[in-house]
Structure formats: structure tokens, C-alpha cells
Amino acid sequence: MKKTYLIASLIIVTVSVWMLSGVFKERPAPAPDMATEATPEAGATKAPTVARVRTRHLVASPQRVEIVVRGRTEAKRVVDVKAEIAGRVIAVPVEKGQRVQAGDVLCELSEDGRHVQLAQARASLEKATIDHEGALRLLEKGLLSATMIAASKAALENARANLKAAELAVEHLQMRAPFAGYIEDRPADIGDLMDRGAICARLMDEASLLATGQASEREVAPLALGQPAYVTLADGDTIPGQISFIGRTADPQTRTYRIEAMLDTQGTAVRDGITARITIPLQEVIAHRITPAVLALDDAGKVGVRIINDQQRVEFHHVQVVRESAEGVWVTGLPSEINLITVGQEMVADGDKVEASPDSTPDEATGKP
């Protein structure tokens, strides 16, 4: 046998013996601390943790649903008293800011012979009347044709029209107040030559004031003409009134609708253009007062709150905000008595079992827990 084959065989035998020697080697005994360590069972799961929340017990109470619209006061009647004939101003018995009664003279023009024209018109009417009566007597005797009768009647009607025009010209010499109110402006002065249509005075009716505002689509839906309204002015005074107008066309810029409430001023001095808050009471509902911080949205984007039921599980209830105030918001859609989650509501979901404790934080409105 060749020397190389002999060496290769010896190497193979040596390696095989070395490898087989590890199979039958005795394994060392486990350490005492490892032998006594307990191992979890294959199917065991970790016990679920229970979330802790704080709750506040709330009881519903009757609340009146109101619609509040911001706006301002506005005069319903503001009239520019204008000249109906041309003439020179000879008298202005009123001043700006003065209160006048219906029929009071605001401006007076020079007569410029209009009384003479009136007398002439009366005489012409008298003559035309006599001529027409004489023509009728002649017609009865067959001495006058129907054409002549028609001409005399036309002359009579023309004389009547001239007399009426002369009377109006004299009447229009004095510009009078069409209603009681305040003089807001009086551009005319003594000596001014006024053309027809020139302004003598601007008159505002303070007894027919409105409160106007813009209501949204949701706010305007339940409104109706004649509904009572309460208007709170900037100085805190509240004036009763009722809805007198609801717009049918939306403002193209704001998509809101104009509403008007006629105010019952009863002699109260209210100015035009004052900031006002229009409150329109609707029906009475049972609602809870909560802080807006507890409001949440579900997966569909609807507003609601989370409460705890008798089984200490979380329930999500949709709510509707019916009133807002400085103390919080009033919502409907909940049972009459609830345990509202005030702390930890963002960490739990509908159906979760929780460990609840009373919320001792003082209430923002009452100052009590």
C-alpha cells in the first residue's frame, strides 16, 4: 500500500473517533437556580389592564332652547321730506335733533303769487260752472247741439283741475312732517332757493325701531313671523319685540339670512345703529350642562360624550348642543342621570371596562365638586 493512502486512512479514523466521543458524553446537571425557576405555560396570556378614569354624576334639568343672533338696531322709517314745488325758503321752524309731531311745519316757501293764482282758478271754475248750467238749459229747449254741451263740460272739468293744482301749490308751500319723530338733518335754511325734489329735512320715526341680524341656515329654519324676541342692547337694557321679517334669499357672501324684530320701545329712548343681541326663545328641553372639554368625535365624525354604565363599562352617546353659556354647554341625547367621564375619556373606547373614581375638581359654574 502506498504511503499516502496509509496516512489518509489514519486521519479519517482519528477524526471519526473524536466526533463519536462527544455523543456519549454525559451532560452537566442544571444549576440549582435554573432547575427551580418556573416557566410559563405555553397557552397562558397576560392579564388585561383596567383603565382608571374620573367621573362626575350629573342630573338633567329643564332648559329653554334659544337662538341668539348678533345685530344692531335700525330705524324702520327714515324719510327725506322734499319740496314738491320750487321756491325760496322763508321759514324753518325746526332744528336738528328736535322732536316733532305729525303735521308740524318743517319748511315754508314764499308764495310767489300762488294765492293770486288760486283766486283766479276759483273764479274760472265759477264761470265754467255757470256756462255749463246755461248750456244744459239751452239743450233742453233744443237750442244747443251735443257738441257744444261737451265743450262746456270739458271747460268745466279743466277749471276744476286748475283749481286743484292751485290749491296744491299753496298747500305745498309748507312742508309738514308725515309722522312724529326726530329731525336727523335739516339741510334747508332761510333764503335758500329750493328746486322741486330738494331735501328740507330728514325725519326718523324712533317709535318704529327694528333689531336686525343675520341668521345661519340652522338658526333660520325654526323661526316664524310673530315669534317673541328679546333684544339686549350694548348698555344691558332688554327690550321685548317680535319677529317681523325673515329673509328668503341668502347673502351671497356669508350664506346667512336677514331677520328683523320689531321693538316695543314704549317711550324708551333707543338710537339707530346700537349693537344688539337678538334672543329668540324656542321650546323647553331636558338637558345636561357639561364642559366643552369632554366632547369627543366618533369614527363617523359625530359629536358625543363618554359615560359609565352600571356595569362599569364605557358608553358613547351622541349629543346635540342646544345652548351655550359662560358656564358651559347644554346638551341633549343623554339619560336623565349619568356618570360622565371627565378625566381619561381619551384613553378608553366604547365597551371598555374601567375603574372609576369621583372627580373632586370644583365645578366651573358652582365652585363645588
**Same domain flag for 260 and 211:** yes
The DSSP code for 336 is: S
Gap between the Cα atoms of 199 and 187, Å rounded: 7
Bigger pLDDT: 54 or 45?
54
CB atoms within 10 A of CB 334: 21
DSSP string, 40-102: --TT--PPPPPEEEEEEEEE-EEEEEEEEEEEEEEES-EEEEE-SS-EEEEE----TT-EE-T
Bigger pLDDT: 48 or 309?
309
Predicted confidence band of residue 20 (pLDDT cuts 50, 70, 90): low
Nearby residues of 203 by Cβ (< 8 Å), 6 or more positions away: 78, 79, 80, 81, 100, 106, 177, 178, 179, 181, 182, 183, 184
Predicted confidence band of residue 161 (pLDDT cuts 50, 70, 90): very high
pLDDT in tens, 228-252: 999 999 888 889 999 999 999 999 9
Residue 300 sits in which domain range?
Answer: 52-63+286-358
Looking from the CA of 357 toward its CB, the CA atoms found within 13 Å total 8
Q: How far is residue 83 from each of residues 51, 78, 111, 175, 308, measured CA to CA in Å?
A: 83, 16, 13, 7, 76
Final residue in a domain of this structure, among 269, 284, 299: 284
Share of the chain above pLDDT 90, in %: 45
Span 49-70, average pLDDT = 87
DSSP H stretches of helix in the chain = 3-21, 32-35, 114-140, 146-171, 217-220
Predicted confidence band of residue 301 (pLDDT cuts 50, 70, 90): confident
Type of residue found at 75: A
**Same domain flag for 218 and 278:** yes
**Same domain flag for 274 and 332:** no
pLDDT at 146: 82
Across 58-67, 203-212, 223-232, 360-369, least confident range: 360-369
pLDDT at 136: 87
**Same domain flag for 312 and 351:** yes
Asked if residue 194 belongs to a domain, the reply is no
- The structure's pTM equals 0.58
Asked if residue 221 belongs to a domain, the reply is yes
Long-range contacts (CB closer than 8 Å, 24 or more residues apart) made by 319-322: 319/295, 322/63, 322/65, 322/285, 322/287
- Is a pLDDT exceeding 60 seen at residue 111? yes
Q: How many domains is the chain built from?
A: 2
Predicted confidence band of residue 35 (pLDDT cuts 50, 70, 90): very low
**Same domain flag for 274 and 343:** no
Residue 250: Cβ-neighbour burial (10 angstroms; 0-12, 13-18, 19+): middle
- The CATH number given to whatever domain includes residue 291 is 2.40.420.20
Rg (CA), the chain: 48
pLDDT at 45: 53
Asked if residue 347 belongs to a domain, the reply is yes
**Same domain flag for 273 and 211:** yes
Residue 276: Cβ-neighbour burial (10 angstroms; 0-12, 13-18, 19+): buried
Span 173-186, average pLDDT = 92
Q: How far is residue 186 from each of residues 81, 135, 143, measured CA to CA in Å?
A: 9, 53, 62
**Same domain flag for 210 and 275:** yes
Asked if residue 40 belongs to a domain, the reply is no
pLDDT at 64: 82
**Same domain flag for 236 and 290:** no
- The CATH number given to whatever domain includes residue 215 is 2.40.30.170
**Same domain flag for 311 and 342:** yes
Nearest to 313 by CA among 269, 268, 356: 356
Bigger pLDDT: 268 or 127?
127
